[in-house]
Homo-oligomer: A and B are copies of this chain.
Amino acid sequence: MIKLLIDCFGGDHCPEAPVAGAVAALAKNPELHLLLTGDEALIRAELAGKSYDASRLEIVHAPEVIGGDEKPTDAIRLKRNSSMMKAIIMLRDCDDIAGMVSTGSTGALVTGALVRLGRIPGVIRPAFCPLLPTMTGGIVGICDSGANPEVTSAHLRQFAIMASLYLENVYGIASPRTALLNVGLEAEKGDDLRRETYALLKETPSVNFVGNMESRDLLSGSYDLVVADGFSGNVLVKTTEGTAVELLKKLKKDIYSRNLYKFGALLMKRMFMEEKEFMNYQNYGGSVLLGTQKVVVKGHGSSRAVAVEKCIEQAYRMETSRLSAKIESEIAKYEHYED
């Protein structure tokens, strides 16, 4: 049995999305045991009328909610009775709980996880690794995408090692083609950090390093993993999502501008729905935090039930594949310096 905590508050569709996602995940996976954190009465109300195996679902009462605009350091200090902090503290204290899923404040989750949960021995900095769909039908991971705005080449090497193991063990991608996000393809491009990291990744046998990547090629399908500092990685992911959303919006608006287009689009309805599904991040799970001793998966703030269910599945597979132990033993092969 794998036990996971589900933070039921803080996202845009709470508690309905986490509760429905949890119920769906329980139905599909008999090896799953879930603990839902949040206001008990509200969670119970949401569960009413739903069928689930009550022996594998518990509620942990935590009436407070951390808002998206709260200062993370204040939130983790002052809101110990919030659905998120309660989950983090239980995750730290209970040996039999493997991980947690949250759609709440990213800042509070990162800070809470860093301060309260231990890192995997040898890991300098945990990092986020979200996934995006590629044009060849696969996925591409981006690590880091926001946990560490400032990094060194040693950090970036660890991100590459951890995320390679994640893609290999959770998604079955053998020796993921790993690139460094840079402003050009040549080894000498970018700033000192990029040049140092390029050299370091070249001599890292644990990583299938294929060189620099320009951001315009992210979705091409030529890469399985892109390593970046948390600032530019964040720009990379959010720009991709934002451009796709804006273009689909524009397309829709333009279609509605003329009856002829509306008729044409009607014939292509199924195709447009598929495009929309293709660009829907809800289908690609959450952004996992790599490097903490226990599993932490961050779902998009706007996650619906299906997205939460995917996050739970990711957490389950991270745990059953023994990813943490594999990260520990791979990281140990390299010299590293604590910062």
**A→B interface (CB under 8 Å):** 69, 71, 107, 135, 146, 149-150, 181, 183-184, 186, 188, 190-192, 194, 214-220, 230-232, 234-236, 238-247, 249-251, 254-255, 258, 260-261, 263-268, 271, 274-275, 278-279
Residues of A contacting B: mostly: helix
Given contacts A149-B183, A231-B191, contact A267 B260 (CB under 8 A): yes
Q: Hey, which chain B residues are within 8 Å of A214, CB to CB?
A: 238, 242
Out of B191, B230, B240, B263, name the residue touching A267 (CB < 8 Å). B263
Tell me the smallest distance from the CB of A267 to a CB of chain B, in Å. Answer: 3
Contacts of A217 in B (CB 8 A): 242
Of A194, A241, A242, most buried by chain B (CB within 10 Å of CB) is A242
| Smallest CB gap from A251: residue in B | B275
A246 to B181, CA, bound (A): 18
Decide: B268 and A261 in contact? CB cutoff 8 A: yes
Assembled-state Cα–Cα distance A123/B255 (Å): 47
Closest B residue to A264 by beta carbon equals B267
For A264, give its contact among B107, B149, B231, B266 (CB under 8 Å): B266
Q: Report the copy number of this chain in the oligomer.
A: 2
Whole-angstrom distance between the alpha carbons of A279 and B247 in the complex? 9
Q: Which of B149, B183, B219, B251 contacts A242 (CB 8 A)?
A: B219
Other-chain contact of A271, B107, B245, B254 (Cβ < 8 Å):
B254
Q: In the assembly, what is the distance between CA of A221 and CA of B100, in Å? A: 38
Contacts A186-B69, A250-B135, A251-B275; A241 near B216 (Cβ below 8 A): yes
Q: How far is the CA of A254 from the CA of B269 in the complex (A)?
A: 12
- Docked-complex contact B238 and A216, CB < 8 angstroms: yes
Q: How far is the CA of A215 from the CA of B232 in the complex (A)?
A: 10
- Say whether B215 contacts A242, CB under 8 Å: yes
Q: Which B residues lie within 8 Å of A240 (CB)?
A: 239, 243
Q: Which chain B residues border A266 with CB–CB below 8 Å? A: 264
Residues of B within 8 A of A191 (CB): 149-150, 231
B234 touching A236 by the CB < 8 A rule?
no
Whole-angstrom distance between the Cβ of A94 and the nearest chain B Cβ: 32
Which 6 A/B pairs are nearest by Cβ-Cβ distance?
A216-B242, A264-B267, A149-B191, A243-B243, A239-B239, A264-B268
Contacting A235 at CB < 8 Å: which of B146, B149, B215? B215
Given contacts A107-B184, A216-B241, A216-B245, 10 further A-B contacts (CB under 8 A): A135-B250, A146-B183, A183-B231, A215-B234, A240-B243, A244-B247, A247-B247, A255-B271, A260-B268, A264-B268
